[in-house]
Amino acid sequence: MAAPPRSKSSASKGRPASHAATARNDAPPGAAAVQWVTVEPDMAGQRLDNFLMARLRGVPKSKIYRIVRKGEVRINKGRVRPDTRVQAGDLVRIPPVVKPERSTPTVPGDRVQAVMQHAVVFEDDHMLVVDKPAGIAVHGGSGLDFGLIEVLRAARPEARFLELVHRLDRDTSGLVMVAKKRSALRFLQEDLRQRRVYKHYHALVSGHWPVSVSEVNAPLLRYEMPNGERRVRVDVDGKPSLTRYRVLDTWQGYSLVEASPVTGRTHQIRVHCAVTGHPIAGDDKYMDVASQRAFRSQGGSRLMLHARALEFRHPEGERWVRLEAPYDTAFNQVLAALSR
């Protein structure tokens, strides 16, 4: 169903960049006054629900959808749907909303900020690429006070916009793209959807990977364990998932492979490796207990999956960029032990 027609914006006729109405006397305690916000060009094309979530951080998504349905949110004085795309110059009315009380958030310390700043391997006015250490989540939540993106925001308080372009598992190390402009975020995520971003991972897997197995094409379905933990399995009802493989080296009991995901499903490489009978070393979700013990006896202490290389079109000028990230100390130590 299409969104209802909207009246033409009056914001483009000399209105300032943003507006704040006088606070209403009947606004509930803890609520802000009605906001009148003019959409800047860099925000054009964004869904209204996402636009509101960025401005009303901490407000539950259900409440945001409710105030839109009730007509409390307006664009150019007209009622709209959550999936309406905002345009440059649109005037958005945002009603007073009570945010849930939260404890004071934990601020990332100077040391972790310095580590993340040092991990930046590419940066310009549009984006940056970080060589994320293993063990650090890309964002906070699920019991974590902060992740990579929160650390970067704390280290760069002057940055107006920093958003993840894509994600890596907490225990996976390697290259992650972060957009510094919404236009860059839209460009890179569209290229991800169109499969014009090429990601190459290196994984140490159990056993000898057959050279004849150059790809795994198996649908993946997310499900929840009884304890609430989320997992992924191969299932005919799952989403189509394809990973291409290339053997790089072999040792007694292990193989180093390059895995290039064509699709981008949760845990895709990990599950596709496991379903072939060659789980990734150190994988506490998809590797059997005996194999985990054998890996620990080799000195293994981490998931042996590393986002090694990225190839992408730059958001401006469409020049191609290729980046590589070396293995960390723990990854190198395992390979060295196997070589001995």
Our answer to whether residue 169 is catalytic in this structure is: yes
Residues 99 and 15: their CA atoms lie apart, in Å, by 29
**Between 110-118 and 148-155, two packed helices, what is the crossing angle to 10 degrees?**
100
**Catalytic residue among 90, 169, 171, 283, which?**
169
Beta bridge mates, 228: none
Please write down the HEC assignment for all residues of the chain.
CCCCCCCCCCCCCCCCCEEECCCCCCCCCCECCCEEEECCHHHCCCEHHHHHHHHCCCCCHHHHHHHHHCCCCEECCEECCCCCECCCCCEEEECCCECCCCCCCCCCCHHHHHHHHHCEEEECCCEEEEEECCCCCCCCECCECCCHHHHHHHHCCCCCCCEECCCCCCCCEEEEEEECCHHHHHHHHHHHHCCCCEEEEEEEEECCCCCCCCEEECCEEEEECCCCCEEEEECCCCECCEEEEEEEEEECCEEEEEEEECCCCCCHHHHHHHHCCCCECCCCCCCCHHHHHHHHHCCCCCCCEEEEEEEEECCCCCCEEEEECCCCHHHHHHHHHHHC
Residues marked active site are found at: 169
